[in-house]
Chains A and B, each alone.
Chain A
Amino acid sequence: MVESRLTRWLLRAGTGLTLVFIYGPLLVIGLYAFNRNVTQKWPIEEYSTRWFSVAFNDDGVREALTLSILAALGATAIALVLGTLASLAVARYQFFGREVITFAVVLPIALPGIVTGLALQATIVDVLGPIGVSFGLATIIVGHATFCVVVVYNNVIARIRRTSGALDEASADLGADYWQTTRYVMFPQMRTALLAGGLLAFALSFDEVVVTIFTSGAQQTLPIWIFATLARPAQLPIVNVVALFLVVASIIPVYIAQRLAGGGGPDEERAPTIPTAAP
């Protein structure tokens, strides 16, 4: 069907407007990071990079950054292991409750983060507290892993569904047992999907706020640090710098993941699997 000139114009305008809404505010924050003055005023009068070194040398920022990286690495590691195992089981075997498992794995991404957080907090305080568990890095990691697993699972299972069927059989036919097939055929097929899923999981964990509030106790991840520091006007320039850093740190892994998921092999068309909703 050929759209009329008006339809085409409307579609273009709509797309343009959407992009402006999404990226305009980000641009503003990005520019504020280069604002020389402590007070925020639009338009910016004088540009400078001086707040970058201030932010870089700020102890609070450094601690928060370290915690965020550790939490994201931990959550990603858990997600890679559990997500891969779940996707292998669901893709390869017909078993009782398979649909339930699929649903249960994917659900956390749609659950309200505040409910997930509340539930985790209640469990940590009331159930695990008496046996010596307290808030800290470990609880943040577990909290983030709940939604990171989905990302890995979705990426890997999409790859398995698209490529493996006949290759599995061919491998078994040539004499390879289950583990040999997994090692020589399945894993190489999944490699880029794992990397893509891992990067997305890392990005999701890195900028997560809601669940972190309920699972972090007194420590602050980078997003939480921003949230807490917003109330102090004197710190605002540093917040802007950190915000810009967060945006860049989120975009890079997502961009790489897209490329990996999209261009996995010369003979196989592979669509990326980005989660539909962030918690």
Chain B
Amino acid sequence: MSHAPDIRIRGLVKRFGDVTAVDDVDLEIERGEFFTMLGPSGSGKTTTLRMIAGFEIPDEGSIELAGRDVSRLPPYERPVNTVFQDYALFPHMTVAQNVEYGLMVKRVAKDERRRRAAASLEMVRLGGYGARKPAQLSGGQRQRVALARAIVNEPQVLLLDEPLGALDLKLRQEMQIELKRIQQEVGITFVYVTHDQEEALTMSDRIAVFHRGRIEQIGPPAEVYEHPESEFIAGFVGVSNVIEREGRRYTVRPEKIHVLADGAQAPDGVRVEAGTVRDVQYVGPVTRYHVTLDRGGELQMLAQNLEEGSMEVLASKGRRLRLQWRPEHESVIVETEEGNA
């Protein structure tokens, strides 16, 4: 592509005292992408987001929006808007006034303001709530107002800082679908910060996994999940199912591992390992087996409870069995400066 990416970050560094929160981050995000920055707390994802928004000034490096360097501009001169984790709605204003705020301070005419705010509230399914105060809304509704307040400005980039963190599970899953729908409707680039791997896998076009201020891997969700490049990612995005054989360290996702029936012959080319069931966790639709392998190491295996009841699966603790998986489901771990920070 010949045009500049929507966001281009180069050599970004931010220090707080002795702590390097963001350590040499490079990143390019295309127009219209749903891009997720995933990582545990303190990994630098939120600080990176805050530098894009303009709340923090980088110590080194640059941030370009559509080819324009904005690294040193104040937040109010950047074509980005943020949805905050705690919503940050203005408590003394009505919902409509909140949504119109961005247009008001830019002196957009009153009629247009009204019209756009109403359309924006309609988009987040809160038409008719304009006259209420934020305190009269539920958590999920406040979240939608925060979204409408940002989108109404038609920003070039929308930044979302763990926006669903305060919602309960069911609402969160609903809002994930909502967010994805809204993003496709408005076509704005979304940069989404979360520590929830499932959220990242569900919504993103691409994921950047942050660890200790650096990006350890960038790629589409399936790639990050199926081919984690480091032990950290294997463990953070999914469960760390890492074993070492013949000098190779690799991970196999638990759902790719199956039990080889007693006395059955393994098909050609399939890996087989014998082991003992150390622990069993019954999780409703599936059961998680922790199997200690005879050749060393431990693997988790996930099996659907199609036929078995909970009593049967729990009784398998201590049983001997053979595990099998196909070699193409192994993902070799490329160790990246572990313990080097």
Which residues of A approach B to under 8 Å, CB–CB? 163, 166-167, 169-177, 180, 184-185, 188-189, 265-268
Once the chains bind, are A175 and B102 in contact (CB under 8 Å)? yes
Stretch touching chain A among B85-93, B189-197, B297-305? B85-93
Which residues of B approach A to under 8 Å, CB–CB? 53-55, 74-76, 80-82, 84, 86, 88-92, 101-102, 104-106, 133-135, 149-150, 153
Cβ–Cβ < 8 Å partners of A166 in chain B: 84, 86, 88
Q: Which residue of chain A has the shortest Cβ distance to B104 in the bound complex?
A: A184
Once the chains bind, are B84 and A267 in contact (CB under 8 Å)? no
Once the chains bind, are A267 and B81 in contact (CB under 8 Å)? no
The 9 closest A-B pairs by CB, nearest first: A174-B102, A170-B88, A267-B135, A166-B88, A176-B105, A172-B75, A266-B135, A188-B92, A173-B82
Cβ–Cβ < 8 Å partners of B84 in chain A: 166, 169-170
Q: Which residue of chain A has the shortest Cβ distance to B137 in the bound complex?
A: A267
A-B contact count (CB 8 A): 72
**Most B CB atoms within 10 A — which of A163, A174, A175, A189?**
A174
Once the chains bind, are A174 and B101 in contact (CB under 8 Å)? yes
Bound Cα distance A268, B135 (Å)? 9
Once the chains bind, are A174 and B91 in contact (CB under 8 Å)? no
Q: A169-B75, A185-B90, A266-B91 are in contact. List 19 more A-B contacts (CB 8 A).
A: A169-B55, A170-B88, A170-B90, A171-B90, A171-B101, A171-B105, A172-B54, A172-B55, A173-B54, A174-B76, A174-B101, A174-B153, A177-B105, A180-B105, A184-B90, A184-B101, A266-B133, A267-B134, A267-B135
Bound Cα distance A185, B86 (Å)? 17
Once the chains bind, are B75 and A189 in contact (CB under 8 Å)? no
Bound Cα distance A265, B75 (Å)? 28
Cβ–Cβ < 8 Å partners of B74 in chain A: 172, 177
Bound Cα distance A171, B153 (Å)? 13
Once the chains bind, are B81 and A174 in contact (CB under 8 Å)? yes
Known contacts A169-B75, A189-B92, A266-B133; A175 and B106 CB within 8 A of each other: yes
Cβ–Cβ < 8 Å partners of A266 in chain B: 91, 133, 135
